[in-house]
Amino acid sequence: MRIVLISCASKKLPYKAKAKELYASYLFKLNLKYAESLAPDKMFILSAKHGVLSLDEEIEPYNQTLNKMSDAEVKKWAESVASQLSIISDLKKDEFIFLAGEKYRKYLIPKIKNYRIPLKGLGIGKQLKYLKQNNKVNLCAEVHKFFNSLKRISFPFENENIPLNGIYILFQKGEKAHQGDRIVRVGTHTGDNQLKSRLRQHFIDENKDRSIFRKNIGRALLNKEKDPYLKIWELDLTAKESKEKLSHLVDWEKQKQIEKKVSKFIQDNFDFVVIRVDDKEQRLRLESKMISTISKCRECKPSDEWLGLFSPKEKIRKSGLWLVNELYKEPLSEEDFKNLVCQIIS
Same domain, 244 and 318: yes
Domain's final residue, options 94, 118, 134: 134
Reported as type and span, the H/E element at residue 169 is strand 166-177
Domain's final residue, options 100, 134, 168: 134
Same domain, 214 and 332: yes
Q: Is the predicted pLDDT of residue 345 greater than 80, yes or no? A: no
Distance between CA atoms of 43 and 23, rounded to whole angstroms? 15
Of 43-47, 147-151, 183-187, 242-246, minimum mean pLDDT range:
242-246
Same domain, 11 and 123: yes
Same domain, 177 and 98: no
This model's pTM is above 0.75 = no
Reported as type and span, the H/E element at residue 7 is strand 2-7
Name, in order, each residue with C-beta under 8 angstroms of 320's C-beta and a sequence gap of 6 or more: 182, 184, 295, 300, 301, 302, 306, 308
Cis-peptide into 40, omega within 30 deg: no
Instruction: Give the confidence band of 346 by pLDDT, cuts at 50, 70, 90.
Output: low
Distance between CA atoms of 201 and 211, rounded to whole angstroms? 6
Domain of 27: which CATH number?
3.40.50
114-116/95-99 β-pairing:
parallel
Query: Quick one: average pLDDT of 52-56?
Result: 94
Same domain, 211 and 332: yes
Q: Looking at the DSSP assignment, which residues form a beta bridge with residue 272?
A: 153, 170
Query: Quick one: average pLDDT of 263-277?
Result: 97
Same domain, 158 and 88: no
Count: domains in the chain: 2
Range of the domain at 79: 2-134
Same domain, 185 and 250: yes
Same domain, 145 and 278: yes
Q: What is the pLDDT of residues 294-333, one digit of tens each?
A: 999 988 899 999 999 999 999 999 999 999 999 999 999 9
Instruction: Give the confidence band of 342 by pLDDT, cuts at 50, 70, 90.
Output: confident
Same domain, 207 and 104: no
Q: Is the predicted pLDDT of residue 155 greater than 60, yes or no? A: yes
Residue 311: Cβ within 10 Å count:
21
Same domain, 290 and 203: yes
Same domain, 226 and 125: no
Give the SS3 label for residue 321: coil
Domain's final residue, options 104, 134, 164: 134
Q: What is the pLDDT of residues 88-138, one digit of tens each?
A: 998 999 999 999 989 999 899 999 999 999 999 898 889 888 888 877 778
Same domain, 120 and 230: no
Q: Give one DSSP letter per residue of 234-286, joined into a string.
A: T----SHHHHHHHGGG--HHHHHHHHHHHHHHHHHHEEEEEEE---HHHHHHH
Task: Tell me what the pLDDT averaged over the chain comes to.
Answer: 93
